[in-house]
Every structure is written in C-alpha cells, then in structure tokens.
Amino acid sequence: SDSINLAVIGGDGIGPEVVAEGLKVLQAVSGAKVSTTDYDLGARRWHRTGETLPDTVLEELRGHDAILLGAIGDPSVPSGVLERQLLLRIRFELYHYINLRPARLFPGVSTPLDVAKVAPNGIDFVVVREGTEGPYTGNGGALRVGTPHELATEVSVNTRFGAERAVRDAFARAQARERKHLTLIHKHNVLSYAGHLWRRTVEEVGQEFPEVSTDYAHVDAATIYLVQDPSRFDVIVTDNLFGDIVTDLAAAITGGIGLAASGNINPDRTTPSMFEPVHGSAPDIAGQSKADPTATILSVAMLLAHLGRHDEARRVEHAVSADLASRGDKVRSTTQVGDAIAAGVI
Amino acid sequence: SDSINLAVIGGDGIGPEVVAEGLKVLQAVSGAKVSTTDYDLGARRWHRTGETLPDTVLEELRGHDAILLGAIGDPSVPSGVLERQLLLRIRFELYHYINLRPARLFPGVSTPLDVAKVAPNGIDFVVVREGTEGPYTGNGGALRVGTPHELATEVSVNTRFGAERAVRDAFARAQARERKHLTLIHKHNVLSYAGHLWRRTVEEVGQEFPEVSTDYAHVDAATIYLVQDPSRFDVIVTDNLFGDIVTDLAAAITGGIGLAASGNINPDRTTPSMFEPVHGSAPDIAGQSKADPTATILSVAMLLAHLGRHDEARRVEHAVSADLASRGDKVRSTTQVGDAIAAGVI
Ligand SMILES: CC(C)[C@H](C(=O)O)[C@@H](O)C(=O)O
Ligand SMILES: CC(C)[C@H](C(=O)O)[C@@H](O)C(=O)O
C-alpha cells in the first residue's frame, strides 16, 4: 500500500482541468507512489468512434485501486447516451451501490441561505444515495412514439437486497458519527410499494444499531428542511433519484456545486470505487481555467479515505478548509486554486 | 353567477381551522351568495366507518362549483390510504390535470434565503404541475414481501395526451404573463422515455406560442437554481412527482408552506376544481389556533379567479399582501389572521 494505481477519466468540458488539479494535490499529499492511467472517454471519443465504454476498457478499469472522474456530458451528444452507457454503466457494473455525498458548510464559505437565521449550528451531514437501482435502471419503454397516443413509462426497481445494503452502510456511517442520527427520505405516502420496502428495511436494519436514532421525511418536505433547518440532518439515506435531487440542493446550500464531492463506492471492495465532483462538464466555461477544482480535490480526499489513507485525506480537507477560509471575493484560476491547496497539504 | 355553491372538506388536523378562515374571507369579499356543503372526510371518518371516499360522495362533489379542501392525513392512518383513496382519487376522478402552484415572495415576508443577494429582482413564478400521471398513478407492485428477495416497482406513466394538455396550459399561462417564459423541469438524461416525450411535447406545442421563450432544467439542477437564482423562473411545467418536490421548495423560499396556495384544476370545467393549501394537516399544532390560514385564503383567491371572479380574487390577494407587509414578528392566532384579512378585502 505504498502505491496508488489510479484510473483517470478526465471526460468532457471542465473535467480534464479539474482532474489535473485533483491529481496535483494527490501527488503533493501522498507518500505513496501514484501511478495514473488516462482513459479517453466521453463526447470526443463518441464523436470519433461511436464508442462510449468499450468492454475492454471496462475490464481495464477493474484493475485499478480507484477511479478519478472529472465530468461526462456534452450538448452535442444526444441526451442520455453518455450518461447511461458510460457514467451509469460504470456505476452499475462496478457495483457502486453507495453514492456518498457529504454536505458540509466550511467556515468562510457564503451560501444563498441566511445562515445566521436558519443554520446557526452549521451544516454537516452526509447523504448515502443508493447507486444501482430506483428509477435509474433504464427499465421502462415507449409506445406509439410521435403519435397523439404515445405512452412512455419509467420503472423504478427496488429490491430488499439493494435497499438493505445501502441502509446498512448508512447506519454504520451514522453509528461512527457524533450525533448518530439517520433520516430516511422517500415518498411512501404515494410510492407505497417502494416506500414500504425502504421503511421496513430501515426499521429492521435499525435493530442492529440501537444507538442510532432515526426519523423520516417525505422528499418534498425534505427540500423545505434543507433550506429552513439543514442542521437537523446528520446522515440521510435515500434512493437513487431522490438522492440525485437532494444532493444538488445540499450542494447549493453549502456553497454550490463547485465544492461538492462524491464517491461512487463499492464497500465490498471487489471492484474499484470511483470519485467525482457532483458538478457537470460546464461546457460554457471549459478551457478557460475558470472552473473551481475544489469539488474534485475534496473527491480526492474521499478517495484517499476509501483507500484507508485517512491521515492524507484529513490533510487535504484541512488544506481545502484553510483555502476556503481565506478566499474572500478574489477570482483565481483553476490552477491557482489547485496550487494553493497543494501547497497547503504539506 | 351571483351564487357560489361550494363543497368544503375540512379534513384532518389544522384543516378545519384554516378552512374556516378561508370561508370567512370568501364571505367577506364576495358579492355572491355563498352556500357551502361540508363533507366529513379524512382520518376521523376512516376510523369510524372504514370509508375514505364513498362513491356517492364523489358524485355529490361533482354537483358543486368548486371544492375547498383543508388538509388530509393523520399518523394514525396507514401511510398512503387517505392520500391515494381520498386526495389523489379526487384529483384523478375529477380530471384535475393541472396542479397550479404560484410562488411569489410578498413584500415584508422573510425567507431562509439571503434575498438581497440571490433574488434582488424578487420571486414571482408559477408551477404547472401535471396532476394525473407520472409516478402518481399507483402502478407498480411488490413481490415476495418481507423476504430477502423482495422486489418493489413503481411505474411512472406518461402519455402524450396527458403531457400535452399540461404543457399547453402552461404555455397559455406563460403567454399571458409579462415575461412569457416557460421552463420544463425533468430528468431526461436518465429518465429517457418520459423525458423525451416531455421534451418533444414542449418543442411541438411551443410552435403554437411563438412569443413564449423556453428553456430546460434537470430537476436536480432546478433545486440549485431555486435557491441561487429563483428570479429566473416565470412559468415552470413539470410532471407530477417533480412538481411535488419543486413546489415544496418553492414554498420554502417564498416564506414557507404557511403561505403556499394551490389549485387542482380541470381547465375544461367539466368537473369542479379543488383548491387547497400546499401544507399538510400538521396534527402537532391542531386545535390550538396556531396554524397560519394564509395559504388557504390565497387558495380561495385562486378559486375566485377560476370562477371568473377576478376582481374579488385580486381584493383577497391585496388584503393578504397588506396583512403580510405589516405582520412583523407578532404572533397571532389563526382566527386573528383570518379576521384581519377579511377586514382588508372590503
Ligand atoms: C449526469 C447524471 C446521470 C448524474 C445522475 O443523475 O446521477 C448526475 O446528476 C449526478 O448526480 O452524478
Ligand atoms: C399528500 C400528498 C399525497 C400530496 C402530493 O404528493 O401530491 C402533497 O404532498 C401535495 O403536494 O399536495
């Protein structure tokens, strides 16, 4: 474990720029020998070859300790193609059943909220989003497309197996935290089949974690809590789609998606986990060194923690925290931010 | 049209209290003879008789000009029972395919947002939520419940017919507004079947409304815009579930669900439309005259507008606006707020 063998997918738009800064910080902080393999995947490759994720590449990815991803997606590619055939395919095939998304308001970071009023105790929670089921499986279909009688369905698939492993992971995370509190977010008053499965799973797995308190919020009400009283949350567990929605909102209230990190994690470690900023490829600012690499750098901290390199992870977080505290309103380039944080990890 | 024949469903928790104030204001403002029929529906009736919405009652509801609903739901009733068999049943059977939810920040109202920073131009948009399809239809099922191999599905049903009538209604509303802008909210990069149906429908119906500009936001990104730049929205059109989520967030950023009104509307007027506050039954504060009746009173304004009584609707809105501007931090009872607004409509 004195080497880290990383697969790197820069991807589209600002992806390669922010990934470069993430790697810069990783090299600066880690005592390990970091070796990287770049994979050219995303819009460019699709336009050139029609390929999204060749099977051989997927097999190669498996051979790494972890994957660092920048961003995938470009308006020139039909909606859904890269998302489903590349990003979601990796998440599904590599069993990334935990999509982990911390939401933490760092000192000095400004947010759209009147924080003094609604979050005097700060914001510090983590969302455990299920990553392989729900409405994300691609089940569904369309009939009579283009006619007045068109019908389109989307099927949300939820298994006890899938919910339980996400819920158990979330309980374990709650157990390890100071407040030991878990909130299930769903919509069980309308989505009764899936909702009851999730509720019962939380009740039953909860027996194994008697110290963890639990509560429940419908997803609509949860968005209200997230802006009116975000301090109430400690660990959130939820399905793939609700998790997608609440983590973007969670990012917004903690300083924006320029700061939001994520890990697509296989806790069983039979495959490499993948770390990526929550933001997208932002083609409008690509190539201008305007993107904030902080979300990627915090994703690198999550990657280090996942590899058991907790001290290095903490040093990255501290360097980010220090940099954020002193940012003020000054505008810096992508590389300047990366340089400053890399200098701070020593 | 010098009489209004209203069906009133006070419902559970704070429902009857807020409805009483809504009716008080309606009586005060309207030149019409208002006659009301109370329907005892909700948790109490279910406990007493096992009934949620008897067919005979549904038939009687059809005979009214409109329905005013307080709130439905109580923790003593299994999740989903009253929601599906009563509330959603009315929405579906009476063809309430438009669930209309204005989001307007009235002067003097405080919000969780740092408004000076994120919404210097104010907040004033309206959400056209489709009301009869999407993941709300109750399609889906469960297999092997209670076993490790349990499977639960939820099917989102989307028809061109259903999307088109909602989209056309939304375009017409946008056309009638100053900014003439329509935003589709969906998640077409993942929910491709339904997403493409909605997108094409907006493109095609848009041809009929050349003056209306359109854009698109994924539902996750939309939650970010709602807190970082809510002024960008004018009219939003979206499906039943995304509409449920974004309208609670929209309520939160415009002063909370104590102020959020809604109309379940059948624009074809073949059945009565139903007006209700967005908030729930709040059993924890029921019977204490603590609930804010403003959302119900603003729903009464929507009811009046729907019945073509635009002058009376405007007078209610003005009275609410004046009351909100002078509220400050004083705590008033439910009836005091109703009295003040009723006095203001004259
Ligand atoms: C790009 C898209 C498929 C993806 C998702 O919906 O999961 C993104 O929004 C995210 O949250 O990582
Ligand atoms: C109570 C529930 C069924 C309902 C909904 O989901 O539509 C409510 O949240 C609403 O928004 O009116």
pLDDT for B229 beyond 70: yes
For A304-333, give the DSSP string.
Answer: HHHTT-HHHHHHHHHHHHHHHHTTTT----
pLDDT for A346 beyond 90: no
Ligand 2 neighbours (beta carbon < 6 A)? A 189-190, 220; B 83, 87, 244, 278
The confidence score (pLDDT) of residue A151 equals 98
Ligand nearest to the CA of B242: 2
Average pLDDT, chain B: 97
Number of H helices and number of E strands within chain B? Answer: 13, 12
For A2-23, give the DSSP string.
Answer: -EEEEEEEEESTTHHHHHHHHH
For residue A48, the tally of other CB atoms under 10 A from its CB is: 9
A197 → closest Cβ in B114, B150, B192: B150
The stretch B197-211 carries a mean pLDDT of 98
Residues B70, B15: contact at Cβ < 8 Å? yes
Cβ-defined contact of B189 to A117 (cutoff 8 Å): no
Q: Which residue, A124, A235, A125, is CA-closest to A169?
A: A235
Q: Which residue, A252, A4, A277, A318, is CA-closest to A111?
A: A252
pLDDT for A210 beyond 80: yes
Q: Which CATH architecture has domain A1-102+261-346?
A: 3-Layer(aba) Sandwich (3.40)
Amino acid of residue A322: A
Question: Strands, E, within B31-75: which ranges?
Answer: 33-38, 66-71
CA–CA distance, A340 with B11 (Å, rounded to integer): 59
CATH fold label, A111-254: Isopropylmalate Dehydrogenase (3.40.718)
Residues sharing a CB contact under 8 Å with residue A121, sequence separation 6 or more, in sequence order: A231
- Does residue B24 sit in helix, strand or coil? helix
Cα angle: A203, vertex A206, A208; to 5 degrees: 140
Q: B250 C-alpha vs ligand 2 centroid, how far in Å?
A: 14
The confidence score (pLDDT) of residue A1 equals 63
B339 is known as an active-site residue = no
Residue with more model confidence, A178 or B328:
A178
CATH 3.40.630.30: does it fit domain B1-101+262-346? no
Chain B residue with the nearest C-alpha to that of A165: B148
**Backbone Cα Rg of chain B:** 20
Q: What is the pTM of this model?
A: 0.98
For B248-286, give the DSSP string.
Answer: HHHHHHTT-TTS-EEEEE-TT-SS-EEEEESS---GGGT
B216 is known as an active-site residue = no
CA–CA distance, A120 with A111 (Å, rounded to integer): 13
CA–CA distance, A319 with A311 (Å, rounded to integer): 12
Confidence of residue A328 (pLDDT cuts 50, 70, 90): confident
The stretch B241-255 carries a mean pLDDT of 98
- Does residue A71 sit in helix, strand or coil? strand
Chain B: closest CA distance from residue A276 (Å)? 17
The stretch A37-43 carries a mean pLDDT of 98
- The minimum-distance atom of ligand 1 relative to the CA of A240 is 7
Average pLDDT, chain A: 97
Half-sphere exposure of B335 (CA within 13 A, CB side): 3
Residues A228, B252: contact at Cβ < 8 Å? yes
The stretch A107-134 carries a mean pLDDT of 97
The stretch A149-162 carries a mean pLDDT of 98
Residues B181, B235: contact at Cβ < 8 Å? yes
Confidence of residue B234 (pLDDT cuts 50, 70, 90): very high
Cβ-defined contact of A136 to B187 (cutoff 8 Å): no
Return the domain boundaries, chain B.
1-101+262-346, 111-254
A190 → closest Cβ in B83, B151, B257: B83
Question: Exposed, middle or buried: residue B84 (CB in 10 Å: 0-12, 13-18, 19+)?
Answer: middle
> Could you tell me how many residues make up chain A?
346
- The backbone torsions φ and ψ at residue B100, rounded to the nearest 5 degrees and listed phi first, read -95, 125
Residues A299, A91: contact at Cβ < 8 Å? no
For A49-98, the pLDDT digits (tens) are 999 999 999 999 999 999 999 999 999 999 999 999 999 999 999 999 99
Annotated binding site of B: 91, 101, 129, 220, 244, 248, 280-292
The confidence score (pLDDT) of residue B289 equals 97
The confidence score (pLDDT) of residue A270 equals 98
For B14-66, the pLDDT digits (tens) are 999 999 999 999 999 999 999 999 999 999 999 999 999 999 999 999 999 99
Query: What Å distances lie between residue A268 and A55, A57, A169, A322, B308, CA to CA?
Result: 22, 22, 11, 33, 62
Q: B273 C-alpha vs ligand 1 centroid, how far in Å?
A: 37
Residues sharing a CB contact under 8 Å with residue B97, sequence separation 6 or more, in sequence order: B130, B131, B132, B162, B165, B166, B169, B265, B266, B267
First to last CA, chain B: 20
In the β-sheet with A151-159, what is the strand arrangement from edge to edge?
A140-143, A151-159, B151-159, B140-143
pLDDT for B1 beyond 70: no
pLDDT for A171 beyond 90: yes
The fraction of chain B above a pLDDT of 90, given in percent, is 99
Asked if A1-102+261-346 and A111-254 have one fold, the answer is: yes
Ligand nearest to the CA of B245: 2
For residue A60, the tally of other CB atoms under 10 A from its CB is: 13
The confidence score (pLDDT) of residue A168 equals 98
Name chain A contacts of B152, Cβ cutoff 8 Å: 158-159, 193-194, 196-197
- Does residue A141 sit in helix, strand or coil? strand
Q: B244 C-alpha vs ligand 2 centroid, how far in Å?
A: 6
